[in-house]
Every structure is written in C-alpha cells, then in structure tokens.
C-alpha cells in the first residue's frame, strides 16, 4: 500500500499545503511518495525529498508542465497512478482542478476535503458548512482524495532523505494552452499560510476605512489580511481575502475578527484557528461563541488602541 502526494510547488520550492497533505498520506498507513510535476523543477524535487516521512520523490519534468495546466498534470498523475492505493491532492485551487480529472479517468469516486483518516479506506469530511462531519468509506481500488490542509499538521519540511526517481514527462494534451497569469503581489503573508490573520467585516463601512483601520494592525503583527464576504461584496476588500465557506479555509495561530458578526458561513472558514479574538460592539454577536477572547467595543476605537499598545 503506497500513497502518492501531488506536490504543490513553483518549480523551485514546495508550497506549505504539500506538507499537510503528506501528513494525511502518512495516516493512510503505507509508504508515501511525492510527485513533483514541473518544468526545470529539480530544486522543488530536492525540497520534496527532504520532507520527513516521504520515501520516494517522482520528478516528472516536461515543458508541458511549466504552467500547471490541469489537463497535463492529470495526465502525468494518470501515467503512474497504477502504482498507488491512494492519490492525495491538497484541497487548493490547483488540487481541486486536477483531482476530479484523475478520479473520473480512473472511474472512482473522489473523496473530497478530508479532515481525518480513520483507516486506509475510511475518512472524515465536513459537510453543511462544517456543521456536520460525514464518515466516508470507499471500496474503490484507488482512493483519489483532496485534503483540507487545516485538518492536518504540516509534516517537517526537512529531516527526510527520499530517493528521487525520474519519470518521463507527458506530452502536451493540446486541450488547453496557457495565455497569461495575473498574480496579486502583496508584502503580506498569503492567507492560507499566514500564522496570524486580521479580518474585517461589513462594519468597516468603506474600502478606505478598511485600509486605514485594519492595515496598521496587520502590519504590526505581520499578519495576513482577511475579510468577511459582506466586506468583499461591498468592495471594501478584494475577493481573494474572503474567509469562509465560499472563500478560503484558514486555521492560523491567531485570528482577529473585527466588525464581523460570525455567520456560520464565515465560521466555516476560520473556526479551527488556534486562538480567536473578536471585536464587536454587539455582545450578542455569534462570533463570540467561537472566540477565545472577546472585546465588546467599537472597532474604530479599539483597533487603533490595540495598534498603539502593540
């Protein structure tokens, strides 16, 4: 029984989501291999070989894999899929783009967004925005799984010494081509990797106020900036800052929510944070039900005071 983890990488380094996925793969009980499908990605393969618990890295290098096109990555996974009992992807935009193609081609049911491995064929996954946990047992020969990374600790990035084996890179599928990429540049940590997140809600009232009040707090704490959907919909914050059921799922060490009511769809994205601090002027706000520290206060007063005190 061997599990294959599909690495998330930028051809030079391994992205943190891969480490949590390795932990999930180890919980499946057998050996763990990592596929690094990329172009000129030797550095990423070397980094993958150092992940604790990984026994082999498969490095597939091909120009067709340079831009992470899902059709080509899926073909690369399928080329070696026969060797594996479990194929695990992080539940990121990339992972969710490739995994269903692999599952469909293998004619198996994808097991999505797992948060726990009960046994090699039984997994837990949240449903109804995290209000219930489903236990799913699969009798498929190959388990194709996406892993909710907040459900698993990160494997140590160093300490391992896996062998690196090369696999022939697949040819371009010809089904899609890379046109361009617009990447948001930010000095702040990426939300899903940030240790601290500072989030603002509808109460901020405008994009200007959002920046004026929340950015200094994020800067002081070297935190990622997040937002509720109401704040995003109102244009106070960009779409990729949204935390929640239809946004990003995060579990930082510290999550500070200011002027966020705590609707279940927001809680679904952050309630696994280690320490939650809520600032809200309504003491009945549901966010206080998940908060470790709650401050009933006007955020326009409390947040600048907090920044000053820090």
Ligand X SMILES: Cc1cc2nc3c(=O)[nH]c(=O)nc-3n(C[C@H](O)[C@H](O)[C@H](O)COP(=O)(O)OP(=O)(O)OC[C@H]3O[C@@H](n4cnc5c(N)ncnc54)[C@H](O)[C@@H]3O)c2cc1C
Which residues contact ligand X (rule: CB under 6 A)? Answer: 201-203, 228-231, 242-247, 259-261, 263, 265-266, 269, 279-282, 285, 298-300
Task: Give DSSP secondary structure letters for 90-104.
Answer: ESSHHHHHHHHHHHH
Of the two residues 103 and 270, which places its CB atom closer to ligand X in the complex? 270
**126 Cβ contact partners less than 8 Å away, ≥ 6 residues apart:** 113, 115, 132, 133, 134, 148, 268
* Interatomic CA distance for residues 75 and 58, integer angstroms: 14
What's the min distance (Å) between Cβ of 28 and ligand X?
30
Of the two residues 160 and 294, which places its CB atom closer to ligand X in the complex? 294
What's the min distance (Å) between Cβ of 227 and ligand X?
7
Of the two residues 84 and 236, which places its CB atom closer to ligand X in the complex? 236
What's the min distance (Å) between Cβ of 239 and ligand X?
11
Of the two residues 102 and 263, which places its CB atom closer to ligand X in the complex? 263
What's the min distance (Å) between Cβ of 308 and ligand X?
17
How many other β-carbons are positioned within 10 Å of the β-carbon of residue 142?
19
Structure tokens at 99: 């995994």
- Helix spans in the chain (H): 16-27, 42-49, 70-80, 93-106, 207-221, 229-233, 264-270, 299-309
Of the two residues 11 and 229, which places its CB atom closer to ligand X in the complex? 229
* Interatomic CA distance for residues 173 and 2, integer angstroms: 27
What's the min distance (Å) between Cβ of 250 and ligand X?
11
* Interatomic CA distance for residues 289 and 233, integer angstroms: 25
Pairing type for strands 31-38 and 56-61 reads parallel
What's the min distance (Å) between Cβ of 130 and ligand X?
11
Of the two residues 110 and 261, which places its CB atom closer to ligand X in the complex? 261
Which residue in the shown chain puts its C-beta closest to ligand X?
244
């Amino acid at each position: 029984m061997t599990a294959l983890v599909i690495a998330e990488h930028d051809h030079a380094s391994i992205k943190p989501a891969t480490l949590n996925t390795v932990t999930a793969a180890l919980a499946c009980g057998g050996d763990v291999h990592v596929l690094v499908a990329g172009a000129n990605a030797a550095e990423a393969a070397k980094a993958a070989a150092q992940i604790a618990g990984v026994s082999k890295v498969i490095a597939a290098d091909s120009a067709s894999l340079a831009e992470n096109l899902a059709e080509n990555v899926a073909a690369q996974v399928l080329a070696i899929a026969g060797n594996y009992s479990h194929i695990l992807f992080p539940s990121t935009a990339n992972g969710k783009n490739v995994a269903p193609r692999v599952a469909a081609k293998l004619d198996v049911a994808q097991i999505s967004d797992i948060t726990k491995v009960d046994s090699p064929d039984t997994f837990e996954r949240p449903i109804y925005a995290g209000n219930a946990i489903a236990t799913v047992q699969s009798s498929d020969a190959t388990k194709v799984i996406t892993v909710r990374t907040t459900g698993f600790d990160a494997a140590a990035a160093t300490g391992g010494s896996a062998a690196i084996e090369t696999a022939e890179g697949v040819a371009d599928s010809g089904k899609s081509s890379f046109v361009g990429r617009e990447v948001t540049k930010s000095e702040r940590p990426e939300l899903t990797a940030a240790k601290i997140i500072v989030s603002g809600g509808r109460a901020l009232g405008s994009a200007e106020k959002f920046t004026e009040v929340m950015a200094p707090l994020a800067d002081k704490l070297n935190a990622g900036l997040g937002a509720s959907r109401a704040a995003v919909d109102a244009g106070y914050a960009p779409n990729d800052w949204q935390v929640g059921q239809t946004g990003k799922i995060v579990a930082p060490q510290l999550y500070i929510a200011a002027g966020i009511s705590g609707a279940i769809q927001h809680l679904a994205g952050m309630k696994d944070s280690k320490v939650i601090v809520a600032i809200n002027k309504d003491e009945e706000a549901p966010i206080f039900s998940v908060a470790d520290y709650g401050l009933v206060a006007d955020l326009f007063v409390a947040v600048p005071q907090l920044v000053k005190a820090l």
